[in-house]
Amino acid sequence: MPPLDPALDPDVDPRALSDADWRAILDPMEYQVLRQSGTERAGTGRYLQDPGPGAFHCAGCGQRLYGAEHKFHSGCGWPSFFDSVAPGALTLHRDRSLFMVRTEMRCSRCDGHLGHIFDDAPHMPTGQRHCVNGTAILHVPAGQDPVAVFAAHRG
Q: Is the CB of 34 or the CB of 131 nearer to Zn ion? A: 34
Mark residue 100 as left, alpha or beta (left: phi above 0; alpha: psi -120 to 50; beta: remaining): beta
The contact mask relative to Zn ion for 111-130 (x = CB under 5 A, - = no) is: -x------------------
Q: Least separation, in Å, of the C-beta of 110 and Zn ion?
A: 3
Q: In the annotation, is 76 catalytic?
A: no
35 counts as binding Zn ion under rule CB under 5 A: no
Query: In the range 46-105, which residues lie near Zn ion by CB under 5 A?
Result: 58, 60-61, 63
Query: Quick one: CA dihedral 120, 86, 30, 151, positive or negative?
Result: negative
Query: Of 29, 25, 8, 14, which Cα lies nearest the Cα of 136?
Result: 29
Query: Of 17, 2, 4, which Cα lies nearest the Cα of 109?
Result: 17
Contact residues for 123 (Cβ-Cβ < 8 A; gap 6+): none
Which span sits near Zn ion by CB under 5 A: 21-29, 42-50, 109-117, 120-128?
Answer: 109-117
Among 107, 117, 121, 137, binds Zn ion (CB under 5 A): 107
- What are 93's strand-pairing partners? 104
Number of residues that bind Zn ion (CB under 5 A): 8
For Zn ion, the binding residues (CB under 5 A) are: 58, 60-61, 63, 107, 109-110, 112
Which residues does the annotation mark as catalytic? 131
